[in-house]
Amino acid sequence: MGVIMHDTPQAALSRIRLAWSSRRSCGLVAAAMGIRVERVIALQAEGRLSPEDAIKHALEAEAVALCLRPLPRP
């Protein structure tokens, strides 16, 4: 029996953007991981990444984005 996936790279991208906009993560890291997930989405659309690999990459990027909290504002 295959794995049932309820998550998508697009959902991970939305959560990364929310973490950045709500200052739950470092903006620099979140921006970079957002760009990475956008690339994952494009690669999947081109058929160069399977849906399974795309979600794995997207979830890894989300995890990285959430690893660093933001620095204090100047």
To the nearest 10 degrees (0 to 180), the angle between helices 51-67 and 27-45 is 180
Total count of domains within the chain: 1
65 with 16: CB under 8 angstroms? yes
Q: How far is CA 32 from CA 4, 5, 20, 72, in A?
A: 28, 25, 11, 19
Per-residue tens of pLDDT for the chain, all 74 residues: 455 558 999 999 999 999 999 999 999 999 999 999 999 999 999 999 999 999 999 999 999 999 999 999 88
Domain annotation covers residue 39? yes
**Residue 57: both structure tokens together:** 């990459």
Domain annotation covers residue 12? no
pTM for this entry: 0.88
Q: What local confidence, expressed as pLDDT, does residue 73 receive? A: 86
Domain annotation covers residue 10? no
